[in-house]
Amino acid sequence: MPDYLLELAAGGRVAGVDEAGRGPLAGPVMAAAVIFHVPPSAALAALLDDSKKLDATKREVAFAAIRAAMADGLLDAAVGAASATEIGRLNILRATHLAMARAIARLRMLPDIALVDGNQPPLLPCAVRCVVKGDSLSLSIAAASILAKVTRDRAMARLDPRWPGYGFARHAGYPTLAHREALARLGPCPHHRRGFAPVDQLLLALP
């Protein structure tokens, strides 16, 4: 389970940063940044973990708790995104780093250091420390993981009625069998990512 030790060791104003949506064939990649102004309560900490380890119901409960703590002034949080078009132009790694930079820029105050999940440091306007499997080690990174995941899932659900047939509300753009079959049947929509092989192969086949 994640804890608050990395934040305490780093000192100063510490932002946990994580992303959601690097693997899908469609939709944006999103990143979130979270700064705890005070150590999180035991009740909040118990809800936080790597978003991939939580089911949808637990993620929504944790998301609501994070938002409530933000409203109470106990933490600052922000989400940034890079679109499918930007992913196609930049590649997924650089687009992910762009989303992280946008999340940091939307915080009310610049952190002294960002604890970033993974092993590839983005260029941010503050010091950066990469933490492999950080969403399982750091409460601020875990909170960012949940914020990014829930926000992205909701964005993909909003796309579903605008682009019926792809099933975005069910799979959030990930390359499930149902999504790949819909993609082959309908072809790519503007929210599908150029530069991802299953999408590019269909584009090349178009007259």
Residues 6 or more apart in contact with residue 13 via CB below 8 angstroms: 35, 109, 110, 111, 112, 113
Two tokens, residue 21: 């949506």
Helix (H, G, I), strand (E, B) or coil at 167: coil
Whether 176 is in a domain gets the answer no
Q: Which domain holds residue 114?
A: 5-159
Q: Determine, yes or no, domain membership for 108.
A: yes
SS3 content of the chain, % helix, strand, coil (to 5): 45, 20, 35
Within a domain: 13: yes
**85 within domain boundaries:** yes
The reply to whether 206 falls in a domain is no
For residues 184 and 90, give the distance between their C-alpha atoms in angstroms, rounded to a whole number. Answer: 25
Sign of CA dihedral 168, 170, 171, 176: negative
- Name the one residue in this structure whose structure tokens are 């944006």: 28
Residue 21: inside a domain:
yes
Q: Does 104 fall in a domain?
A: yes
Residues written for the chain: 207
Question: What is the β-pairing status of strands 127-131 and 75-82?
Answer: unpaired
Q: What is the bridge-based pairing of β-strands 113-117 and 14-20? A: parallel
β-sheet with 14-20: strand ranges across: 75-82, 29-36, 14-20, 113-117, 127-131
Q: How do beta strands 29-36 and 14-20 pair?
A: antiparallel
Read off the CATH number of the domain in which 82 is found: 3.30.420.10
Residue 73 lies in a domain: yes
Number of separate domains in the chain: 1
Tens digit of pLDDT at every position of the chain (207 positions)? 899 999 999 999 999 999 999 999 999 999 999 999 999 999 999 999 999 999 999 999 999 999 999 999 999 999 999 999 999 999 999 999 999 999 999 999 999 999 999 999 999 999 999 999 999 999 999 999 999 999 999 999 999 999 999 999 999 999 999 999 999 999 999 999 998 988 988 777 654
Residue 132 DSSP one-character state: T
Torsional sign, CA 55, 161, 203, 86: negative
pTM over 0.85? The answer is yes
